Structure 1
């Protein structure tokens, strides 16, 4: 059996009156064996009282046999020979340690996860795993290691990859994949994953500086590509307008010189210093 079942306990306040009655009756009949029996029975009955707080539960066992689970909160009385194991049904928060793992490209990265979970099946949590809280920690770490190996940290064009999902930029997709992976691992313990997301992500220290320079170089190349593309369009437009309005008649050599000068001005990192030519176009 791997399914929990609800147990309906007796109202604890009613049983307080019964126990008090047993004690009073025992004292009144103390001179005979019945009185001693009533007092012993009252003392044994005190072990049956149980308090269940909101979002709490008690798993009941009778000599190793599962009897049921009390999930409703209140003050109750059960068989005093029951073993009562307390399991919280509250949402719990788990922030894993930072793990050093390899991404899809083999680059070492530091990663941690934040997990929000709760117990939904008290039988599985109590009996299908040895320690369900430690089970959550171990399986979460295993899921993070597997997830990190499935995606690259970032998408670099020179790697020949065209990955749509990366650990750095695809936060929602990675979180959904992590939640699914963790839920599959924790289902056998009767645990529901409410939220799973990456809490920390960075390159490992030994390659962090090199990767930072690589990212900067990639950004510079991309910016230069846009600058050159815009400069070519502007030069093309300038030549077209000059030819259309017949402001000046340029031969191929002068067009080449003009294109060269405009490209230098438009693509330069610094402002160009103008030089006024007081002579002819050839000097």
Structure 2
């Protein structure tokens, strides 16, 4: 018997190498052929590219709608640069009793020195129950004692101050900020320090008529009421020349950016204008230590040059609104009348008769409402 040997593909020779994969291409109606691997080349030092929202146009023939990127949020304006060390801190003060004791010690020292020098009158010595002095007059030692006692009395009594509720002192020495005194009662403050009184109570300011504009760009005059207070006395007094003038200018600048509606506008518009004004002014004055609680328009009127024209325009708008309201009421009445007549079977109308009835009822209702008023 002859044996046949079966040959398999493995025994015929080495395995065939797979054919290389075809290069993938990107191709559409608007682009040429671009190899895919060229879009993802590995750079030796890749540079990070920040991604930004963009608008991608629609490709022809695909039905794809353009994708709109989200608008970037408005950035808050940076606060004006000020000295970072200029922050309110409490000043070093002593109770008023210390100043009183120092002043009394100075007076007592002056009397004792006078008795020592023999310059104290006998009546004063007798009243103070002091023995007779054998001094022959003031000498160098007595004059030095006089100087020390006088300096002690001046420093003791000269540093006395009365702190009141809602008031504060910004104190400084040789142009340098030394602290703020907010304590109340009798206090002793170094008499060499310069004191500047600041009102830290809740305050309100009613402005004069300021120029502004409404939502349509028409010039208006606005009177605002600002409720505010001083939060950081150091920045308010030393950060600007006059913090009250700075507050007024910030309010005027905010009115130039926020539209203010006249009293006849919607209530929501007035509330949004008040909120926007308060937010803008509070952000502007926060850097100088002021705290604004509300900026509320209390009187809004058109400027004199446009007041007559806007008055006529508002009257015309009111007439149009009243006319539209009256016409809607008439149409509803006619529709209700015709519907009731036909649904109850009182009349049977064809299209021509229905039109005639509607016309007659409309004329009748309009005439009646015109005679009786709105």
Q: Distance in 2 between matches of 1:114 and 1:221?
A: 35
| Number of corresponding residues | 260
Judge conservation of contact 2:89–2:180 (CA < 8 Å) in 1: yes
Q: Post-superposition shift, 1:78? A: 1.8
Within 5 Å, which residues of 2 pair with 1:7-46? Answer: 7-30=91-114, 31=138, 32=142, 33-46=144-157
Aligned counterpart, 1:270: 370
Within 5 Å, which residues of 2 pair with 1:15-94? Answer: 15-30=99-114, 31=138, 32=142, 33-94=144-205
TM normalised by structure 2 equals 0.64
Larger radius of gyration: 2
Q: Distance in 2 between matches of 1:271 and 1:36?
A: 101
Which of 240, 258, 279 does residue 357 from structure 2 map onto? 258
Aligned counterpart, 1:163: none
Bigger fraction of residues in strand = 1
**2:227 matched to 1:116?**
yes
Judge conservation of contact 2:277–2:295 (CA < 8 Å) in 1: yes
**2:237 matched to 1:126?**
yes
Which of 296, 301, 321 does residue 202 from structure 1 map onto? 301
Judge conservation of contact 1:113–1:144 (CA < 8 Å) in 2: no
**2:245 matched to 1:174?**
no
Q: Post-superposition shift, 1:174? A: 1.5
Describe the superposition over 1:36-75 as per-residue Cα deviations: whole angstroms up to 9, x where unpaired.
3211331243321222110111111111121111111111
Which of 69, 86, 91 does residue 2 from structure 1 map onto? 86
Q: CA RMSD in A?
A: 2.3
Q: CA 1:225–1:167 in 2, change beyond 3 Å: closer, same or farther?
A: closer
Task: Name the SS for the 1:118 alignment partner.
Answer: strand
Judge conservation of contact 2:100–2:156 (CA < 8 Å) in 1: no
Aligned counterpart, 1:224: 323
Which consecutive unaligned segments of at least 5 residues does structure 1 have? 156-165, 273-283
**2:311 matched to 1:212?**
yes
Task: Name the SS for the 1:113 alignment partner.
Answer: strand
Q: Post-superposition shift, 1:152? A: 5.7
Judge conservation of contact 1:58–1:87 (CA < 8 Å) in 2: yes
